[in-house]
């Protein structure tokens, strides 16, 4: 048996030419149909699904359900399929999964899985019908209802040894021991042209098992099976006895690879990934289920911006969320430090202030270019104490609480956008992140924030709200500590999330300042669910280290889920100012963003 399309087509052509010569046909007769496949020949082809660049799907479910979903996504027809049946305790698939995956990739056909207790057997049978499968290569539980699976199809006992791969299914494979923990990574690297026969490392012997552990099942004794099924499934002769065929029919493997990207994590199902590799899809393992998270994942999606993108496993979230994240990753625009999610891939250190001068913070003590140099040097001082890259940032006061009501009566002075643009441009050029900071006075935060939409549409610009300066009617700056209701914050963050999603932007910082609990009314109701935002509560009080750490402890208690805590150091008001090492070692949890005023 051979699955080489080129060699079989050449042979078919020569055969037809020979027949024409014997019959004495002249040159004037119609040419032989050696370049046209008959319907029978077409049925013997493995056909991949048509390319659909619009597909952005999350495949989820049990191992069996995932195997079906992957087959449906990538294969249109296949005369042969590998079927793995799990037994009740899943011990056989632990042994047979490696060879089954290798067989599927070597043959370039789907791997379908029947769950324990034959769960999903009807669905697997239906998929075999859809694919037009004539022959099954079987692995796994020999007591499964192979008759129901086979129906009118041939059943071949799947080989597990290299000799069997060569003699039974016509595939050359190099035996490769694999630890179970490395199976996903190894399956992802399988290549049909240079095939590894994955041999899962057996469980430890009874002597090496921990005290009290159940002994491993004894290894089978006696000579290895001989004959055509030599190297057959570890199910032993039972599955081989049920086999109705000793080899596979000729069939055409696909000559091209599937134009698709399949994303996975270490927790993804290896059987599904084997089917993806059998189709020739590009399979990438991500550190987490978010294609925006790292430069590697962003690059992978960018390479497949015009092809289908699938994800395997629940780690990738809902289909809508996954599709939105893929759209962002496809832009290739990254945050300083790489990737498109803010935390936990980096920490930040920022200078706080206003361009007008030093009276509002350290940022205004120098011009924009000098400020970028200063904050980069400051971030570098933190790097020795962080496992994550420490990225420089500026916390740019955008609206300033004012003793003068102003023409709009809101006791807040809005900085002209043209005065902020040089600072945002300088930061963008220097690889420095920007947070626009709002002191809204008597007006609501969202009304002010919308005035700066054009800046927030930039990929490296986030948002900060300062409730200290959010005043109720009749209140004046510096006469009391302001406060804001959680609902107003939620309204603002929802708007920012929508803006980020609609413009396919990287994740944005969403900061809220707080040094007293009563600054946020209903803090437990904060909505941190927007994956477009990295939500941080920023402890920005000053004082002695002991006072600040006490405040920090109070603020961390009952912290809403999804919050990345952050911290402020004051050059003048803190007594003394914590050093970078002290900030990262005495403040627990370690802050993700540190600002300097």
Q: Looking at residue 439, what DSSP letter applies?
A: -
Q: Which residues, at least 6 apart from 393, have a Cβ–Cβ distance to it below 8 Å?
A: 348, 349, 350, 351, 375, 379, 432, 433, 434, 435, 593
Q: What is the mean pLDDT of residues 469-482?
A: 89
pLDDT-derived band at 207 (thresholds 50, 70, 90) equals: low
Strands (E), 70-129: 75-77, 80-85, 111-114
Q: What is the mean pLDDT of residues 270-289?
A: 97
Report the percentage of the chain scoring pLDDT > 70: 86
Are 368 and 410 found together in one domain? Answer: yes
Are 391 and 490 found together in one domain? Answer: yes
Query: What letters, b where the CB count within 10 A reaches 16 and e where it falls short, cover 48-73?
Result: bbeeeeeebbbbbeebbbbbbbbbbb
Are 129 and 161 found together in one domain? Answer: yes
Are 437 and 315 found together in one domain? Answer: no
CA dist 400 and 402 (Å) reads 6
DSSP 462-493: EEEE-GGGBPPTT--TTSS---EEHHHHHHHH
Are 391 and 273 found together in one domain? Answer: no
Q: Which residue has the tokens 């086979």?
A: 150
pLDDT at 6 over 70: no
Q: Which residue has the tokens 């302001």?
A: 482
Provide the number of structural domains found in the chain.
Answer: 2
Per-residue CA distances from 27 to 12, 16, 537 (Å): 20, 15, 85
DSSP 388-434: SPEEEEEEEEEEEE-SS-TTTTSSEEEPPHHHHHHHHHHHHHHT-EE
Tens digit of each residue's pLDDT (9 = 90 or more) over 237-275? 478 888 999 999 999 999 999 999 999 999 999 999 999
Q: Looking at residue 588, what DSSP letter applies?
A: S
In a domain, 8, yes or no: no
Position with higher pLDDT, 51 vs 35: 51
pLDDT-derived band at 75 (thresholds 50, 70, 90) equals: very high
Are 317 and 270 found together in one domain? Answer: yes
pTM of the complete model: 0.85
- Domain span at 279: 47-202+229-331
Query: Which CATH number is 495's domain given?
Result: 3.20.20
């Amino acid at each position: 048996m051979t699955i080489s399309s080129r060699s079989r087509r050449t042979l078919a052509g020569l055969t037809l030419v020979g027949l024409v010569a014997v019959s004495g046909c002249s040159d004037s007769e119609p040419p032989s149909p050696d370049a046209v496949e008959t319907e029978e020949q077409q049925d013997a082809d493995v056909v991949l699904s048509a390319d659909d660049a619009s597909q952005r799907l999350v495949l989820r479910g049990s191992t069996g359900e995932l195997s079906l979903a992957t087959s449906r996504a990538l294969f249109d027809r296949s005369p042969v399929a590998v079927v793995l049946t799990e037994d009740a305790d899943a011990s056989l698939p632990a042994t047979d999964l490696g060879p089954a995956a290798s067989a599927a990739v070597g043959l370039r056909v789907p791997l379908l899985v029947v769950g324990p207790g034959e769960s999903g057997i009807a669905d697997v049978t239906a998929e075999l019908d859809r694919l037009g499968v004539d022959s099954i290569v079987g692995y796994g539980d020999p007591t499964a209802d192979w008759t129901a699976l086979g129906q009118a199809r041939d059943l071949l006992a799947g080989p597990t040894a290299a000799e069997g791969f060569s003699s039974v299914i016509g595939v050359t494979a190099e035996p490769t021991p694999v630890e179970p923990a490395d199976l996903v990574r190894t399956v992802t690297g399988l290549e049909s042209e240079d095939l590894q026969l994955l041999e899962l490392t057996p469980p430890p012997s009874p002597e090496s098992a921990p005290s009290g552990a159940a002994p491993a099942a004894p290894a089978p004794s006696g000579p290895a099976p001989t004959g055509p099924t030599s190297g057959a499934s570890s199910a032993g002769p039972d599955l081989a006895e049920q086999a109705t065929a000793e080899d596979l029919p000729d069939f055409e493997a696909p000559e091209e690879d599937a134009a698709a990207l399949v994303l996975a994590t270490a927790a993804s199902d290896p059987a599904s990934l084997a089917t993806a590799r059998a189709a020739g899809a590009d399979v990438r393992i991500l550190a987490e289920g978010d294609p925006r998270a790292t430069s590697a994942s962003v690059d992978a999606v960018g390479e497949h911006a015009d092809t289908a993108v699938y994800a395997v496993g629940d780690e990738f979230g809902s289909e809508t969320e996954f599709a939105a994240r893929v759209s962002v990753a496809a832009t290739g625009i990254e945050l300083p430090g790489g990737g498109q999610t803010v935390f936990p891939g980096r920490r930040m250190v920022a200078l706080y202030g206003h361009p007008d001068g030093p009276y509002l913070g350290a940022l205004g003590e120098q011009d924009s270019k000098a400020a970028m140099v200063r904050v980069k040097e400051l971030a570098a001082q933190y790097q020795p104490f962080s496992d994550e890259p420490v990225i420089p940032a500026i916390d740019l006061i955008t609206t300033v609480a004012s003793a003068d009501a102003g023409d709009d009566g809101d006791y807040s002075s809005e900085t002209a956008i043209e005065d902020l643009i040089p600072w945002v441009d300088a930061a963008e050029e220097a690889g420095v992140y920007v947070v626009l900071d709002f002191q809204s006075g008597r007006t609501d935060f969202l009304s002010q924030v919308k005035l700066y939409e054009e800046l927030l549409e930039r990929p490296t610009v986030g948002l900060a709200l300062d409730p200290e300066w959010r005043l109720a009617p009749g209140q004046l700056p510096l006469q009391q500590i302001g406060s804001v209701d959680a609902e107003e914050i939620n309204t603002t963050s929802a708007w920012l999330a929508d803006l980020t999603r609609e413009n396919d932007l990287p994740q944005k910082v969403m900061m809220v300042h707080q040094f007293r609990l009563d600054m946020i009314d209903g803090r437990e109701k904060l909505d941190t669910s927007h994956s477009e935002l990295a939500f941080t509560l920023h402890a920005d009080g000053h004082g002695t280290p002991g006072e600040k750490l006490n405040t920090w402890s109070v603020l961390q208690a009952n912290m809403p889920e999804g919050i990345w805590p952050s911290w402020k150091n004051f050059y003048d008001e803190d007594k003394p100012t914590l050093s970078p090492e002290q900030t990262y070692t005495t403040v627990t949890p370690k802050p993700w963003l540190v600002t300097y005023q």
